[in-house]
Amino acid sequence: MLQSCSQTIPKMATSSKPTCTLLLLLTLSILALFTILPLHQHRHPAVSRSPQDPLFYQDTFLSSATNYTFSTYLRHLTLHSHLAGTPPSLQTALYVKTHFQNLNLATHQNDYAVLLSYPMHSSLTAHFGNGTVVSLPLSEPGVTQNGVVRPYHAYSPSGSAYGEVVFVNYGKEEDYRALREQGVKVKGCIAIVRRGGGMSRNDVVVKAAEKGVAAVLMYTEGDSFREGVERGTVMGGLGDPLSPGWAGVENGERLGVEEDQVIQRFPKIPSMPISAERAETILSSLEGARVPSQWLGTLKTKVQRVGPGPTMLNFTYQGEKKMATIHNIFAVIRGSEEPDRFVLLGNHRDAWTYGAVDPNSGTAALLDIARRFALLMRLGWNPRRTIILCSWDAEEFGMVGSAEWVEQNLLNLGSKAVAYLNVDCAVQGPGFFARATPQLDNLLIDVTKKVRDPDSEDATLHDKWRATNNGIKIQRLSGVDSDFAPFLQHAGVPSTDMYYGRDFTVYHTAFDSYNWMTNFGDPLFQRHVAVTGVWGLLALHLADDPILPFNYLCYAAELQEYTNILSNLLEGNVSLDPIIAAIQELTAAAKKVEEEAKRLRQQETVGELLLLKRRILNDKLMFAEKGFLDSEGLEGKEWFKHLVYGPHSGSESKLAFFPGVVDHIFPSIRMNKIKQQAAIQHEIWRVARAIQRVAYTLKGELT
């Protein structure tokens, strides 16, 4: 039974120790065996299928997987660290482009000039209470720094700070409140923050600046690879900061770096990542108030006191923001019957370091999908709708490559995009996870029944998924942690995202390498095969099914669940009746659409009238998601237009739906009770109108 989950899963981190050469040789020998023996995903009954039968191409797609091809692709992609805007990053772009071209796929490149950020100098010195002064290394030990960018936060302002250390947990409002209740003052201090708690890096630094903190050091907890340092961006929002809302094309309009609209995208105080080991060295020296009891349940770091001091830190970071050219690469398989309908598969290519997990496990999967689709084309396959394979650049800086492309193609995507299927970190470890907009739930579940589970004998991915989670749990897409965000939250395109493995501690560190993948993440590359099987089958169904496999009854049920949760949180004279009524209207419209789809699927005689009816129905199914968009966007985050799935304002809530409503239930700034309730009611009406727009679209009639 499908169990929806209201929280998205952030990318996080684990890790382990390198293995010996003997094990690596054994692994490669086994991989070589798979070169000769293709890995069959799922043993279908012995049925003779016609090349005209869609199941023939689905079976062929699954059975043509080989583990060795993934190993080969990933090895090439991770030979060098390839940060966006650098020469090695261009080389990976050319590798992907050449691969598409060698498969005789129509290939093109789309470049943008954007503002990126790079480190120039950083230092950290600790002055301990006993008089000892220690210069703390900031890079990972044992890592050749040739080509590997030193740990930094992209878009952090340059600056220096000298002050007492204070530990602020996740850096949430409730954490500062807990410190304040214990009499701890943070103004002028250098704050150490552990990553997590639903707070983005930008949220953390912005909140710290509001509290008077002078600078921020962030670390990621983990039992292994404690020397790893998690790089990342602290920019607010998505896309090039110099072209907010439009694409950074050559000779196009750009804002000045010093304009207010640009400056407000960056934090006001400097920040820098450090390793868990460095953080613990500092935190274990603190005195002052004890760690609040409410932090202890999740705290892994050995820290007893929060400070401030007596340890003092001398912190310096100097970086530069400069224009750089980024490169998006595309392969297009033109549809035979509906070439103006696009099914998009996307993965970003740039990495903070080597990027074996993040993102090139996904890039390897994209390359193998291209290889297998090219094979199907040689066997006579031509999709009904156009398929576009998208390799994005500069995702790590804030989904820059995909956001610029979405902004440039907004009208075409709004009128022609069927769905966007995203894979970022394809393989992080064991366990399958998926996120989707709800109308794609049933398709996603059905596809996993056809793919063999990589970690079980004689079981499908669906069997293992259901058993592991005590029922299927599909996450949602409110986060802004990968390239689905511009497509769904700005353009209203139905979307999915999937990956193997929930946590990996080499995340954004110099240890995210090919060796880590072959030793720990997926030694035989069988999880790569499984994710690619699901990804490719989703695309085949969306590109070839005569009637799009969307089910808006699932969406209505999910919206009703969100409403039930909200009903337990609301106080005073706030009413959910507008949303309840709108959901009822959507449910009725969705039922009629399902009945119409069933009738059309049962019609065997194909003529112009049936083709027209299918087209009309598919248009309703495809355009309905756009109804959730609001032209005004979310308050304070106007670029994000989706009223059901989008980022909240770093509030104390973990709810991952109706962001406008949630932001006013848990406001970041205290409001008059009457004004707060009025603001909540207004957001409820906005959501209700959005749901009604979806219902009207499914009805296909003017009211």
- The answer for residues whose C-beta is within 8 angstroms of residue 149's C-beta and 6 or more apart is 81, 83, 118, 119, 231, 352, 353
Answer for the pair 479, 8: CB distance below 8 angstroms, yes or no.
yes
635 is catalytic: no
**N-terminal to C-terminal alpha carbon distance within the chain:** 36
Extract the tokens encoding 603. 């019609």
Residue 439 is classified by DSSP as G
Instruction: Report how far residue 501's alpha carbon sits from residue 285's, in angstroms, rounded to the nearest whole number.
Output: 35
The residues facing 421 across adjacent strands are: 345, 496
Answer for the pair 531, 359: CB distance below 8 angstroms, yes or no.
no
Query: For residue 514, how many C-alpha atoms fall within 13 Å in the half-sphere facing its CB?
Result: 16
DSSP string, 3-70: EE-S--------------HHHHHHHHHHHHHHHHS---S----S----TTSHHHHHHHHHHT--HHHH
The residue ranges of DSSP E strands in 8-65, in sequence order, are none
The residues facing 106 across adjacent strands are: 332
| Tally of CB atoms within 10 A around 701 | 8
Checking phi first, is residue 43 left (phi over 0); if not, alpha (psi -120 to 50) or beta?
A: beta
B/e letters for 634-656, b = 16+ CB within 10 Å, e = fewer, are beebebbbbbbbbbbbbbbeebb
- CA angle, residues 333, 338, 340, in degrees to nearest 5: 75
Alpha helices (runs of H) in 78-230, residue ranges in sequence order: 87-102, 173-181, 201-210
Instruction: Report how far residue 232's alpha carbon sits from residue 154's, in angstroms, rounded to the nearest whole number.
Output: 6
Instruction: Report how far residue 234's alpha carbon sits from residue 245's, in angstroms, rounded to the nearest whole number.
Output: 19
SS3 assignment, position 217: strand
Residue 511 is classified by DSSP as T
Instruction: Report how far residue 433's alpha carbon sits from residue 418's, in angstroms, rounded to the nearest whole number.
Output: 22
Alpha helices (runs of H) in 113-238, residue ranges in sequence order: 173-181, 201-210
Check the CA dihedral 393-395-401-406 and report its sign: positive
Burial of 455 per CB tally in 10 Å (0-12, 13-18, 19+): middle
Residue whose structure tokens are 């500062």: 176
| Tally of CB atoms within 10 A around 541 | 20
Extract the tokens encoding 498. 């999937």
Instruction: Report how far residue 214's alpha carbon sits from residue 511's, in angstroms, rounded to the nearest whole number.
Output: 30
Extract the tokens encoding 543. 């590109």
Checking phi first, is residue 501 left (phi over 0); if not, alpha (psi -120 to 50) or beta?
A: left
Extract the tokens encoding 451. 């793919």
Residue 518 is classified by DSSP as I
Extract the tokens encoding 201. 């890096």
Answer for the pair 349, 92: CB distance below 8 angstroms, yes or no.
yes
**Which residue in the list 221, 395, 407, 683 is annotated as catalytic?**
395
Instruction: Report how far residue 453's alpha carbon sits from residue 291's, in angstroms, rounded to the nearest whole number.
Output: 44
The residues facing 216 across adjacent strands are: 191, 271
DSSP string, 344-392: EEEEE---SS--TTTTHHHHHHHHHHHHHHHHHHHTT---SEEEEEEEE
**Which residues form the catalytic set?**
395
